[in-house]
Amino acid sequence: MAGAGARLYRGLEGLFAVYKPPGTSWNVVRDTVETNLLKGMNSAPPPAPRLQVRFLPASSALPDGSKELTLTAVRVPVLADHPLVTGPQFRGVKVGAGHRLDVPSSGVLVLGVGRGNRLLTELYNCHLSRDYTLHGQFGRATEDFSPTGRLIERTTYGHITRDKLEKVLAVIQGTHQRALLTYSGVDLQTQEAYDLAVKGLLRPMDKSPPLITGLRCLSYDPPDFTLEVQCLNETQKYLRKLVHEVGLELRSAAVCCGVRRTRDGPFTLQHALPHQRWTLAHVTQAVREAAGAVRDTLDREGA
């Protein structure tokens, strides 16, 4: 790689976030971004071709009417360097994805380019929490906890108040916080455990089940409700099941109508590029703007 294209690629190496719409697979999003980046880089002016010396024949008339053949040295471009011969400057760019989102979910999806893929691994090893908003609806239960799944039960929900809902959420959060202390591997009686808990830096040492570090109700308009969740090691299927379990605890049933990730580590919805901005220029700017926050996060978490 040389020239303007190489400079563009170096400016891309890092992390950025895009907004994954619902109904689209994460790998389709990644492939679309990758295609757009390749188009942008290959539209840059190609490097100047090499020059070679060629001896070109020429004839000139002599006074006696005869012709003299001479060779003239000229510098001409190497045809092997012509774009029609070499093809595109870039034939591939490595774009990796961080914590993935399943097809029905939407929200922040972190991607890495080039050496940025190593940063994805470092962020993963930090066990950073992620934020979601979950949209639920009381009154029915389905086989896969989603509104499109096979209906298995209908229930009443008139007895559910916001106060009762918030009490159930507090119990669930308390249970998970005690589990987080267990999986963090620190002595619960030490000052270290207290300091980490106050700063919100308790992390599971190894693989652990999904852990809820924060859970609250954002809105309640029966039968609809919206929850905000901070969690670790989650899957979107687990979060749908969480909504189902909230319904059971309230002696009713509930389905999860929407899962949206609003934060993944240092990346929030504010940083997530919408589909119209999955271009070389916008991604380059996003990588540059995110570099400081990523570096600070890795330093703070001790990666």
Phi, psi torsion values for 53, nearest 5 degrees: -90, 125
Is 55 in the same domain as 135? no
pLDDT for 33 equals 96
Task: Tell me, yes or no, if 296 is annotated catalytic.
Answer: no
Is 14 in the same domain as 106? yes
Task: Give 239-255 pLDDT, tens digit per residue.
Answer: 999 999 999 999 999 99
Is 159 in the same domain as 227? yes
CB neighbours (10 Å) of residue 277?
A: 15
pLDDT for 76 equals 78
Residue of 102, 144, 187, 299 marked active site: 102
- The domain that holds 198 is classified in CATH as 3.30.2350.10
Which residue type, as a one-letter code, is found at position 5?
G
The pTM for the full model equals 0.83
Domain assignment of residue 35, given as a range: 1-44+89-127+267-302
Is 4 in the same domain as 118? yes
Q: What is the mean pLDDT of residues 19-28?
A: 97
Q: Specify whether the CB–CB gap between 95 and 112 falls below 8 A.
A: yes
Distance between the two ends of the chain, CA-based, in angstroms?
A: 31
Is 298 in the same domain as 275? yes
Number of structural domains found in the chain: 3
With bands split at pLDDT 50, 70 and 90, how would you rate the model's confidence at 199? low
Q: What is the mean pLDDT of residues 217-232?
A: 97
Is 121 in the same domain as 204? no
Is 136 in the same domain as 156? yes
Q: Specify whether the CB–CB gap between 106 and 260 falls below 8 A.
A: yes
Q: From the centroid of its chain, how far is CA 237? A: 18
Is 37 in the same domain as 138? no
Does the structure show a pLDDT above 60 at 156? yes
Is 214 in the same domain as 257? yes
Give which of 246, 17, 65 is closest to 138, Cα–Cα.
Answer: 246
Is 134 in the same domain as 119? no
pLDDT for 35 equals 93
Q: What is the mean pLDDT of residues 111-133?
A: 91
Is 168 in the same domain as 104? no
Please state, in angstroms and rounded to a whole number, the distance separating the CA atoms of residues 85 and 217. 61
Higher pLDDT residue, 131 or 183?
A: 131
pLDDT for 214 equals 93
Does the structure show a pLDDT above 70 at 3? no
Residue 29's SS3 state is: helix
Q: Specify whether the CB–CB gap between 85 and 41 falls below 8 A.
A: no
